[in-house]
Chain A
Amino acid sequence: MNFAATLRIALLALRVNKMRSGLTMLGIIIGVAAVIIMIAVGGGAQARVEDQIRSLGSNIIMVLSGSMTSGGARGGIGSQPTIFEDDAYAIGREIEEIQAAAPTLRGTGQVVWGNTNWSTTFYGVTPDYLEVREWSIVEGRGFEPAEMSGAGKVVLIGQTVAKNVFGDDSPLDQVIRVRKVPLTVIGVLERKGQSMTGQDQDDLILMPIGTARKRILGAAQAKSRSVSSIMVKVREGADMNQADQRMRELLRQRHRLQPGQDDDFFVRNLSEILQAQEASSKVMSLLLAAVASVSLLVGGIGIMNIMLVSVTERTREIGLRMAVGARARDILTQFLVEAITLSLIGGAVGILLGVGGAMAIAELAGWRTELSGSSIVLAAGFAGAIGVFFGYYPARKASHLLPIEALRYE
């Protein structure tokens, strides 16, 4: 007996009992849909973390000023200016694992334009800053070399600042005042959204580092060339820890620290923190998928249950089939194909429902969901496997019936 005939027999038997077939499939439908939706929800959460990593920029190490202890009171990070613009240039130049090192000078101030004003954070940066943070300019242009060297009175603004200060007006070529210094807006930065700590990353303005130092922060800063922090981007594929280590060594050497003396700076590997968060969200989505798989398992047991009932109910049919020449193998195949067909059709409907459900959740609840092809393939494969696994026992039971006893069964 060929496979097409077996399939036809199985489909016929399923069609004869539409209601029961439908109810049996329901278990698999719900299971498959649940797996797909849960994986999509988990994937969405993971994608959000990944987005945050991307918005920070990947492979980032921060170098911060050390702390100062005076009269027994220990200051916090940055209380002592110990890192300098030249440290950043040296890191970028001398360590091959480093793609770019961006010195930043940080300050806060009121941005004034006409009769509106907005309190924000300003950063004095070099063009490397945009490279490190993988940040692009959506409108206007970046800093030009002349503006960098000559402390040009130009500024790039974040989306939040643009919205709050300019509203619907175009900010380009407008002159804003920061601490009474007039600066021309030359560009608007791409939206980054919230950082993982919930901070609005778009609430800032960027200006050439010289501008911040000489024109805004004033004389004390102008002399020392110290910076608030250095943001370092490690090359793709390079060893983060080795880059970290070599950077420490370079800074110790430049700062003339003796062996045994503490570092006068702090190094923070931000990517590591995010990666830990990513790992935890992965665990989370795995957990969700595991819970959903339980319902798939329950659906499979439902199939076994119904198939067992079906074998008992159709004992005479099985006896008849044997009497007219079906071998044990034919009966086994028929019931196995019935179970697999049930689970595969259920799986297909479940996939549709799962994809629809994930979309509906994204639409209605506003959660982010990520449908992945692999989760759909996985769910379909799992549904088929469940058909084989839970269909085998009833099918074997059917094929082991003795023809005369099956025929006499009342």
Chain B
Amino acid sequence: MSTPLIRVDGLTKDYVMGSNVVPALCGVSLDIAAGEFVAVMGPSGSGKSTFMNLLGCLDHPSGGRYWLDGEEVSQLSGDELARVRNRKLGFVFQHFNLLARTSALDNVGLPLLYSAMPPSQRREHAAKCLAQVGLAERMDHHPAQLSGGQQQRVAIARALVNDPQLVLADEPTGALDSHTSVEIMALLQQLNREGITIVVVTHEHDVANFAGRIIGFRDGRVIQDHANTPSDAAALLA
């Protein structure tokens, strides 16, 4: 097998609170291959969110090493991490994090502002991504004019706009009803089939069940890591 998309080796993260050092992650080592759909599970305080932030290059690890797409990113500076996030990663958040009073199209195009893409192509590309998530008709709507599910679709389109290798979704269905949740998971499964590696953080088994691999966290350690036969979200909807 070729080099995995993600390889972490002995990854640790400690938070310093006053004179106390609180370990949040105590030596995590694992590989994620390109094209996988992984669910990261665990109760709150298990370290799954910390792990996610490290995978997303949003934070520096206290120890250990992290290779993303063959590049060791654990030693990169803040600006270089910003570049990695911009080129290789897409984020989907629980609360969507869309810019208010800004059109869906402009929200989707946001990452492109920080990329090298010439302005003339940005609009076109953002529109294409919106169409991909089924919102071609809502380009000029503001987040407040969209339903929760539609907002999350806009956020997913934003995560896709830079053609990332990895999409990280942090509780993507946490703010949605169950039917809409399945719709969003169907969308993520579809993107995965198109070749994008997806890592979803969740505490719901129903959601994790759509993934092909489930990694369980507890007290900063991986306690389980097994393959899963994913249920097909699209079939559930039909």
- Identify the A interface with B (CB < 8 A): 1, 4-5, 9, 12, 16, 316-317, 319-330, 402-404, 407
Contacts and interface: CB of A to CB of B under 8 A. Distances in A.
A323 B91 contact: yes
Contacts of A320: 97, 99, 110
Interface in B86-137: 86-87, 91, 93, 97, 99-102, 106, 110-111, 113-115, 119
9 contacts: A9-B113, A320-B99, A321-B110, A322-B82, A323-B91, A325-B162, A327-B114, A330-B114, A404-B53
B119 A327 contact: no
A5 B83 CA distance: 17
Contact of B82 (A5, A316, A326, A404): A326
B21 to A, nearest CB: 18
Contacts, number: 65
A320 B53 CA distance: 13
Interface of B: 53, 56, 58-59, 78-79, 82-83, 85-87, 91, 93, 97, 99-102, 106, 110-111, 113-115, 119, 158, 162
Q: Which label, helix, strand, loop or mixed, suits the secondary structure of the A interface?
A: helix
A407 B93 contact: yes
A404 to B, nearest CB: 5
A5 B91 contact: no
Best-buried of A320, A324, A328 by chain B (most CB within 10 Å): A324
A328 B79 contact: yes
B85 to A, nearest CB: 5
Best-buried of A12, A316, A321 by chain B (most CB within 10 Å): A321
Nearest to B111: A324
Q: Which 6 A-B pairs have the closest CB atoms?
A: A325-B86, A324-B111, A325-B114, A327-B82, A16-B101, A403-B58
Best-buried of A9, A12, A326 by chain B (most CB within 10 Å): A326
Contact of B102 (A1, A12, A324, A329): A12
Contacts of B99: 317, 320
Nearest to B83: A325
Best-buried of A322, A325, A327 by chain B (most CB within 10 Å): A325
Contacts of A328: 78-79, 82
A326 B99 CA distance: 15
A16 B106 CA distance: 13
Contacts of B91: 323-324
Contacts of A403: 58-59
Contact of A324 (B59, B78, B114): B114
Contact of A404 (B58, B101, B115, B119): B58
Given A322-B58, A323-B56, 20 more contacts: A4-B119, A5-B119, A9-B113, A16-B100, A16-B102, A317-B99, A319-B97, A320-B97, A322-B85, A323-B85, A324-B162, A325-B85, A325-B111, A327-B78, A327-B79, A327-B83, A327-B114, A329-B79, A402-B59, A404-B59
A324 B119 contact: no
Contacts of B83: 325, 327
Nearest to B159: A324
A1 B114 contact: yes
Nearest to A12: B102
A402 B56 CA distance: 13
B93 A325 contact: no
Best-buried of B59, B83, B106, B114 by chain A (most CB within 10 Å): B114
B102 to A, nearest CB: 7
A316 B100 CA distance: 11
Contacts of B59: 402-404
